[in-house]
Amino acid sequence: MEYSGDEFDVIVVGAGVMGSSTAYQLAKRGQKTLLVEQFDFLHHRGSSHGESRTIRATYPEDYYHDMVMESSLLWEEAQQQIGYKVYFKAQHLDMGPSDNNSLLSVVASCKKNGLPHQILEPLQVAEKFTGRFNIPETWVGVSSGLGGVIKPTKAVSMFQTLAFQEGVTLRDNMEVKNIVKDEVKGGVVVVTTNGDKFWGKKCVVTAGAWMRKLVKTISGLELPIQPSEVMVCYWRIKEGHEAEFAMGGDFPTFANYGDPYIYGTPSLEFPGLIKIAVHGGRPCDPDKRPWGSGVNMESLKQWIKSIFKGLVDFNAPVSTQLCMYSMTPDEDFVIDFLGGEFGKDVVIGGGFSGHGFKMAPVVGRILADLVLIGEARGVELKYFRIGRFEDNPRGNVKDYGDQVKFLNESLKS
Ligand SMILES: Cc1cc2nc3c(=O)[nH]c(=O)nc-3n(C[C@H](O)[C@H](O)[C@H](O)COP(=O)(O)OP(=O)(O)OC[C@H]3O[C@@H](n4cnc5c(N)ncnc54)[C@H](O)[C@@H]3O)c2cc1C
């Protein structure tokens, strides 16, 4: 196939946080890299814009622990290189019913991985956070040191700037229509809707909520990645108490295990407001979005009312923001070779299921490893392979039984 004459070692499609971090990793390794984005850079129609994302090391699934630890170091490295801050450290608090299997698995995973943590009775939670969290008697809190907030738009901009400084070619407002094999020369040709064709030895696709559509066009493969519109809510802190919830003090990032899963961050981006949101939203086509709330606001309000006991105004959020998730059935990432006729020439990274941002530096490193050397060190990719859905349409089996058993044993001893 003829192309425009521009040749690259690697073409990265999609300039959200994953594509931008990958392009930076590739260029650091001396690869001539092109980063292509369908909309404006730093647009608000995908998943990587906004004011805050939580980073936490506590995961019910063991296999995310090492990834978060590496990512945390890479965030620090990148912000040191750029010279401004995108990563604000805090403590982290998980909470929920003491028989919640996911929460018990979090504890088990902390123990297995040697992650320092404290298991707290409800009164101890109230004591540690001086009455700001009031959890029910039947709940438990798990406090850990590695939490914090990453500033998403600023972080994507940081990776794009670093990538540019390393020599990456950046092109926005350029929708990739297809990726085809170059049968003559080898490699791939990336075709855009405005008629450009770029040749790449290899390609990485990080198309976020558009992943299913694009991969279907490229290879016919139907990935089980469901785009979903979600809403972030900011709530007003009662006058006089703002400092108690502010970043930089002892107020933690937090997560509530249960139905719904609720999470929040210390007050940072909007003084006097705190972000408290529900993990989950409304499935949709990313090109025909509802642009509206899919959140069950009533349960969120009740949660805020009971946990913060009047310190946060639960009547209505004062500000909201919309964003896209890309959900897989097991909520684990999809990081793999596209395979088929593309073999190992095209690598995909998607399905980040609402918890990918913190991992962007390590995901960028892994995608760069895969596309350049065909394997990624220090990560068990079986959890992220496309093939898991062929074995089981629901993907990875989340049976926390063993973890919970391990925990019960260790609590008894
Ligand atoms: C409200 C909200 C809260 C979240 N909270 C957290 C959190 O607390 N902690 C955490 O770790 N994670 C969190 N996440 C998840 C995290 O933000 C995402 O996992 C991450 O941003 C995904 O990045 P991405 O690069 O895969 O997708 P995107 O940012 O959407 O980037 C994909 C890009 O590809 C482009 N693209 C698509 N198709 C094409 C094409 N054909 N041609 C060219 N370009 C194309 C898109 O325009 C887009 O810019 C949250 C997400 C949301 C929405």
pTM: 0.97
Q: What is the pLDDT of residue 113?
A: 95
Q: What is the pLDDT of residue 112?
A: 94
DSSP state of 64: G
Gap between the Cα atoms of 278 and 264, Å rounded: 9
Phi, psi of 262 (to 5 degrees): -120, 145
User: Which atom of ligand 1 has the smallest separation from the CA of 36?
Assistant: 43
Closest residue to atom 27 of ligand 1, CA basis? 208
- What six digits make up the tokens of 228? 């979903």
Domain spans of the chain, in order of start: 7-391
Q: Indicate the helix (H) or strand (E) that contains 156.
A: helix 152-165
Q: What is the pLDDT of residue 408?
A: 65
Nearest to 266 by CA among 93, 118, 119: 93
User: Which atom of ligand 1 has the smallest separation from the CA of 52?
Assistant: 8
- 36 CA from centroid of ligand 1 (Å): 15
Q: What is the pLDDT of residue 399?
A: 73
- Ligand 1 in contact with 356 (CB < 6 A)? yes
Reduced 3-state DSSP string for 366-396: HHHHHHHHCCCCCCCHHHHCCCHHHHCCCCC
pLDDT single digits (tens) 262-298: 999 999 999 999 999 999 999 999 999 999 877 789 9
- 218 CA from centroid of ligand 1 (Å): 20
Which mutation among 228, 352, 362 tests ligand 1's pocket best, with the greatest number of atoms within 8 A of CB? 352
Domain 7-391 has CATH 3.50.50.60: yes
Split the chain (413 residues) into runs of 10 and give each run's mean pLDDT: 79 99 98 98 98 97 96 98 98 96 95 96 97 96 97 98 98 98 96 96 98 98 97 97 97 95 97 97 96 86 96 97 97 98 98 98 98 96 96 87 65 57
CA dihedral angle for residue 272, residue 278, residue 284, residue 286, rounded to 10 degrees? 40
Which mutation among 18, 40, 47 tests ligand 1's pocket best, with the greatest number of atoms within 8 A of CB? 47
- Ligand 1 in contact with 262 (CB < 6 A)? no
- Ligand 1 in contact with 209 (CB < 6 A)? yes
Nearest to 381 by CA among 327, 328, 337: 337
User: Which atom of ligand 1 has the smallest separation from the CA of 324?
Assistant: 53
CA distances for 142 relative to 86, 97, 166, 235, 241, angstroms: 26, 11, 41, 24, 24
- Ligand 1 in contact with 19 (CB < 6 A)? yes
In 61-216 the beta strands, taken as DSSP E runs, fall at 87-97, 117-120, 139-150, 169-171, 176-181, 188-192, 197-205
